[in-house]
């Protein structure tokens, strides 16, 4: 019965095209998708914002790799029924974005969260229904300063997306059709959950030690101690992933090829601390520690990383400073 419903659904949507796309979160990552889709979609690409954020975006626009882009800014109500909604906010803004997400989706809207971490799909799906969610992640190093965003399109791998069960559904075909002939690099993945967890392991093991120590990526190459912290954090992700049924033991370890990644590179957690912003450590070690407790997997190194980065955030906030 379930199979026949799925087949009916596939037949009904055969050749369905995505005509309207809403982007919630026009920041470092959102702008990669905006710049790539704008020439293809024109007025059918909607940047979601309300209140002062909307006014600011309309007034200042966005400058992406030195090019000023004219935007079609819509409130969530105005964007109701978009065919595809892409969510690219920071973890700390996700809870506060759920009302907007709920206002945008109608029965047919596909929702893709390109956020890092492993739980944004569940958080969004819990509010609007998991049937809307298309699993995805993005490999890019993009930086935002005010309304200017900069990334290198040449070395950007782009978006990975797919159904949780790996099926090549009408939704996968529709997103493929959207990204084809656009500036967005993409990869259809038949094991997207593995990809998301492998990226999670990369973020936890590479973002956090360098954020704690305050060094560029070269630290992993030069110091066996920095690398050892990284390995211990990663082993805990691998163990928790196995306990939820995802085997990332064979996933390629992050390599730092000096030709593409500078030893001075600072990933997002360290960039956040440098800029005295709160980090997404709750999405990284915070979630892992919680899952570890639920599954009976010890995660002491992540618990410590979480405490240290929270303390660094408090220090940046001026809660204490005994220099
Ligand atoms: N930067 C990178 O290279 C990478 C980032 N990621 C992940 O992507 C996600 C986004 O990160 P990033 O793009 O760097 O973050 P940014 O802070 O650059 O962008 C987030 C954007 O979301 C906007 N926003 C927040 N709340 C709302 C809302 N309710 N309605 C509309 N817009 C909203 C912010 O607007 P405002 O500034 O006005 O508050 C901001 O423009 C994170 O999970 C990150 O880990 C993944 C891969 C690489
Ligand atoms: C590691 C990287 C740059 C990859 O996209 C990232 O996700 C981050 O800086 O947090």
At residue 260 the predicted structure's pLDDT band, cuts being 50, 70 and 90, is low
Same domain, 172 and 200: no
Same domain, 289 and 237: yes
| Per-residue pLDDT reduced to its tens digit, 140-158 | 999 999 899 999 999 999 9
ipTM for the predicted complex: 0.98
Nearest Cα residue to 298 out of 254, 253, 239, 249: 239
Of 139, 165, 190, the residue that ends a domain is 190
Residue 323 in domain: no
Of 164, 190, 216, the residue that ends a domain is 190
Domain interval for residue 124: 2-190
| Structural domain count of the chain | 2
Same domain, 146 and 184: yes
Scan for tokens 């005509």, then name that residue.
19
| Per-residue pLDDT reduced to its tens digit, 301-322 | 999 999 999 999 999 999 998 9
Of 190, 213, 246, the residue that ends a domain is 190
C-beta 97 within 6 A of ligand 1: yes
Same domain, 44 and 182: yes
Residue 257 pLDDT greater than 80, yes or no: no
Q: Hey, which of 203, 205, 206, 230 would you mutate to test ligand 2's pocket, going by the most ligand atoms within 8 Å of its Cβ?
A: 203
Same domain, 205 and 262: yes
pLDDT score, position 163: 98
Find out whether 299 and 242 touch, Cβ atoms under 8 Å: no
Same domain, 211 and 141: no
CATH number of the CATH domain containing 176: 3.40.50.720
Mention every residue, 6+ apart, whose C-beta is less than 8 A from residue 162.
Answer: 134, 135, 136, 172, 188, 189, 190, 191, 192
Q: Whose CA is nearest to atom 7 of ligand 2?
A: 203
Same domain, 256 and 152: no
Residue 104 in domain: yes
């Amino acid at each position: 019965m379930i199979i026949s419903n799925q087949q009916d659904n596939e037949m009904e949507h055969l050749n369905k095209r995505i005509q309207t796309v809403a982007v919630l979160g026009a920041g470092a990552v959102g702008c990669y998708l905006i710049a790539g889709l704008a020439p293809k979609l024109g007025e059918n690409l909607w940047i979601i914002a309300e209140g002062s954020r909307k006014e600011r975006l309309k007034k200042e626009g966005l400058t992406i790799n030195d090019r000023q882009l004219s935007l079609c800014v819509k409130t969530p109500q105005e964007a109701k029924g978009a065919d595809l909604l892409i969510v690219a906010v920071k973890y700390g803004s996700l809870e506060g974005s759920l009302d907007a997400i709920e206002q945008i989706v109608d029965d047919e809207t596909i929702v893709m969260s390109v956020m890092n971490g492993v739980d944004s799909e569940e958080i969004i799906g819990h509010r609007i229904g998991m049937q809307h969610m298309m699993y995805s992640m993005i490999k890019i190093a993009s930086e935002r300063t005010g309304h200017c965003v900069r990334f290198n399109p040449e070395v950007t791998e782009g978006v990975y997306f797919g159904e949780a069960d790996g099926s090549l559904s009408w939704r996968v075909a529709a997103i493929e059709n959207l990204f084809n002939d656009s500036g967005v690099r993409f990869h259809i993945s038949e094991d997207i959950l593995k990809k998301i967890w492998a990226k999670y392991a990369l973020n936890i093991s590479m973002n956090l030690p360098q954020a704690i120590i305050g060094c560029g990526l070269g630290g992993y190459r030069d110091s066996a101690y920095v690398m050892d912290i990284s390995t211990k954090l990663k082993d805990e992700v691998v163990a928790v992933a196995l306990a939820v049924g995802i085997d990332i033991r064979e996933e390629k370890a992050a390599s730092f090829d000096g030709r593409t990644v500078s030893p001075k590179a600072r990933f997002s957690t360290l960039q956040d601390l440098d800029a005295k912003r709160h980090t997404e450590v709750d999405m990284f070690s915070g979630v892992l520690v919680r899952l570890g407790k639920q599954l009976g997997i010890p995660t002491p190194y992540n618990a410590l990383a979480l405490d240290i980065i929270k303390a660094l955030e408090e220090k940046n906030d001026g809660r204490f400073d005994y220099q």
